[in-house]
Every structure is written in C-alpha cells, then in structure tokens.
Amino acid sequence: MAWWGGQARHEMMNALLDKFEEKYPYITVEREFGTENQFVEKLNTQAAGNNTPDVVQTSSFFLHDFVARNIQMDLDPLVASGEINVSDFSKEDLNGGKVDGKLYMVSFGHNITGVIYNTAIFEKAGVTLPKNNWTWDEYFNTAQQLQKYLGKDAWASEDEGGTFRGFDNFLMQRGKSMFNGKDLGFEKQDLVDWYAFWDKMRKAGVVPPASIQAEQGDKPQEQSMLARGKVAMISKSSNQLKIYQKSTQDKLAIVTYPLGAGAEKAFPLIIAGAGISPDSKHPKEAALLLNFIVNESDAATIFRGEHGPQASKKMQDVIHSSLGEPEKIEYAFVDEILPATKPYPAMPAGSTSVQKLVLTENQAVAFGNKTVEQAADDFFAQAQQILKR
C-alpha cells in the first residue's frame, strides 16, 4: 500500500496496518510513503513500469487523472460481492468516489474548503463573527472593518486571488468549473470578475502587499500568517482547522466560503481515499484492507478521522466522544454544509500548470505588471496551449 503525508500520518498508518496484519496473520502489507509531491511522481513511474502498489491513496484532485490513465480499477464488482461494504457511506462520499457512474475511490474522509478565522481578532476589533452562506460583499465589508483595528502590519485576509481552490469554489457557484474535458470550462469574464474582486481587496489595503503574499507562498501551518496573527482570515480545507489551532493560542473557527449574490449554494467536496490498482495480483486482499480501514471500529480508533469526518456515520460515532474542541467545530461545520456539496470537478493532465497560472497571473496584477483584463487574456492563451499539447 502507498500513501502520502507527514510523519504523524506515517506513524498512524503503520499502527493501522499492524492492526490489520494482526487480524489477518496470513497477509503482510508492504508499505510505501512519501510527501504528496513525491508520491505522485513515484506512482507515475511505477505505473509506467506496471508495478503499481495494490492499494493506492488518492483524492478528488487525482481521481479523474488516475482513472483516465488506468492507475485505478473499477471497484463495483467488489462492492457487489460484498467484499467492500459501502452501505453506511453518505451519498456524497459515494458520489465523490465515482467517475462516469463507477466507483474507483473508497473515501477515508471528506472535507470542505471554508474560511478559517481568528475569533480573538474579531472580538478585539468588535466585528460580528461571520455566518455560513455569507456573500462576497459581506466578506469585503468584514475585511474593511477588521482592517480599521489591525492597522498597518497585519491584514484582514490573505490575497487569495491566486488560489485555484478558491477559484474552483467561485466557479461552482456559477454552475461552471475550471476544466471541461481537455478544455477550460468557464469564460474570460468569470476570471475577470475573480481577479477584479481581489484587486479591490488589495486597493482597499485589506490583504498583504504583493511581495509579502508572494514570500508567504505555501508555508507550513505553524509559519503561516494566520498562526502568527498577521492575518485574521484564510481559506483552507476544514480538516486543516485542528492543525492551525495547534500553532496559535487564539481560538479559531470556520465558516463557509463566500457566495456571490444570487449564486448557487454549492461547494466542492474534497475526498481523500484509496483505490486498487488494475495490475494488482491480490485484489481480494486489497479489498479486505480497504474494507477494514473504513468499516472497523478498531481502525477508526487509530485513524481518528485523519482526512476529516469519515464516510460512515457509524465510524464517526466510534470516535466522536474522544474528539478535541477544534475537531468538534470542524465536524459541526462539515455536517451542516455536506448536503450543499457537489463532487469535485474533474482535472485533466496539464491541470497542474493551469492551476499555477491562476497564481502567476494574479501576482502579475498584484505587482502592477498587468491589468485584470490583460491577465485574463494571457491566462486563456497560455492555458489552452498547455491543455492542447
């Protein structure tokens, strides 16, 4: 089995697999792990040489690409034979693991992008706490009120015009998505609106200047501006709340991503899970392992909702009483919003570079090298060229 993650996850997975081997002494699970970037590179190389691990971790971001390139097999026969039991799964988790109506990924847990905010700053600034399903206008006004209190060296929010996950949310509300097959699934005006909003935020001084935002990049949680009290709000996956909370004394909370006026109330659901390789010589044992991870209370106790609330309510109940405060906030948020989610849209090969373009062109606007219009034009020209190679 191969998975990605940090040291804490590796230890947890090892404990989990030890437990599995204890229960099924005739099976030994070989373990391969690395960071997320290395994981995909290594997996590709293995797939090219036809020696993919039997059980492969995947997520909404990789699923469609892995299926298109035949790195994952259709699990429906294993479900039909009862070897993988998904009867306790929420329908959102089931749908999120499907491609063209067939199940390829068994969900280990789900999360939703929301705005994680520092309640202490809100209280000190005397600003009302945000509520779920707030709008972009409310977000902007809240940021301005916070900025009055924050002054010069801290900001209401990070500049998120360059985050493709934010843009994915924005597009889903408009009934569109970043990609449509090997093409873009939105119009130039959508991107102009998106960049223009963040440009408005920059001009109002409620997000950090371009160079500080660029330097911040994607630093780990403990070095983030949120943890250091430099920003009051940042949009991240709901399962990150507990990790950020470890790095700050101030109480954090989470609220939905802002909605456009009259927009569809829809949020992309991010699922992390695993599938089985079509080359696997041991599909039955692989199915046994997947089933163990998602349906056995022994596993749930060790796994502790690593990737957010688990697909099976039964399994959530096993650990619910032992959850910490940040997890309780996270679970409450996710449970409330789950019915309004949709499966994460598909991403073709080449999507990584197109997602990077969202960042690069936003920076070009932030540094004053381009107007919003120019940035959107350049984005389209380059993105289409990348996808059509």
Partner 1 sequence: MRTKLARRRSEGLIPYLFLAPWMIGVLAFSAIPIFTSLYLSFTNYNFVGTPNWIGLRNYITMFTNDPQYLQSLKVTFTYVFVAVPLELAFALSLAMLLNRGISGLGMYRSLYYMPSLIGGSVAVAILWRQVFGEDGIVNQALGIFGIDMPSWIGTPSHAVWALILLKVWQFGSPMIIFLAGLKQIPNDFYEASSLDGAGRWKQFAHITLPMLTPIVLFNAIMQMISSFQAFTPAYVISEGTGGPVNSTLFYTLYLYQNGFGNFQMGYASSMAWVLFIIIGVFTWLAFQSSNKWVHYDN
Q: Which of 41, 123, 222, 325 binds partner 1 (CB under 8 A)?
A: 41
Q: Does 185 bind partner 1 (CB under 8 A)?
A: no
Q: Does 37 bind partner 1 (CB under 8 A)?
A: yes
Nearest residue to 106 via CA among 72, 71, 65, 69? 72
Q: Does 282 bind partner 1 (CB under 8 A)?
A: no
Check if the beta carbon of residue 144 is closer than 8 Å to that of residue 317. no
> Would you give the distance in Å from CA 156 to the centre of its chain?
22
Q: What is the C-alpha end-to-end distance of the chain, expressed in Å?
A: 33
Q: Does 378 bind partner 1 (CB under 8 A)?
A: yes
d(CA 107, CA 293): 10
| Minimum gap (Å) between residue 54 Cβ and partner 1 | 17
| Minimum gap (Å) between residue 71 Cβ and partner 1 | 7
Nearest residue to 69 via CA among 20, 113, 104? 104
Longest dimension (CA), the chain: 65
Q: Does 235 bind partner 1 (CB under 8 A)?
A: no
| Minimum gap (Å) between residue 372 Cβ and partner 1 | 15
What tokens were used for 222?
A: 């403990």
| Minimum gap (Å) between residue 367 Cβ and partner 1 | 6
Q: Does 44 bind partner 1 (CB under 8 A)?
A: yes
Residue carrying the six token digits 């990737």:
307
Q: Does 99 bind partner 1 (CB under 8 A)?
A: no
Q: Does 372 bind partner 1 (CB under 8 A)?
A: no
Nearest residue to 156 via CA among 143, 169, 165? 143
| Minimum gap (Å) between residue 3 Cβ and partner 1 | 19
CB nearer partner 1, residue 120 or residue 349: 349
Q: Does 71 bind partner 1 (CB under 8 A)?
A: yes
CB nearer partner 1, residue 345 or residue 350: 350
Q: Does 72 bind partner 1 (CB under 8 A)?
A: no
Check if the beta carbon of residue 14 is closer than 8 Å to that of residue 44. no
What tokens were used for 10?
A: 């590796």
| Minimum gap (Å) between residue 352 Cβ and partner 1 | 4
Q: Which of 28, 70, 81, 141 binds partner 1 (CB under 8 A)?
A: 70
Q: Which of 85, 221, 248, 352 binds partner 1 (CB under 8 A)?
A: 352
Q: Does 127 bind partner 1 (CB under 8 A)?
A: no
Per-residue burial over 132-163, b = 16 or more CB atoms within 10 Å of its CB, e = otherwise: ebbebeebbebbebbbeebeeebbbbbbbbbb
Q: Does 154 bind partner 1 (CB under 8 A)?
A: no
Q: Which of 213, 238, 245, 291 binds partner 1 (CB under 8 A)?
A: 213
Q: Does 359 bind partner 1 (CB under 8 A)?
A: yes
Compute how many residues bind partner 1; rule: CB under 8 A: 39
d(CA 166, CA 142): 18
Check if the beta carbon of residue 61 is closer than 8 Å to that of residue 343. no
Three-state DSSP class for 354?
helix
Question: Which DSSP letter does residue 259 get?
Answer: B
Give the interface with partner 1 as residue ranges (CB under 8 A).
Answer: 37, 40-41, 44-45, 47-48, 65, 69-71, 209-218, 349-353, 356, 359-360, 363-364, 367, 369, 378, 381-382, 385-386, 389
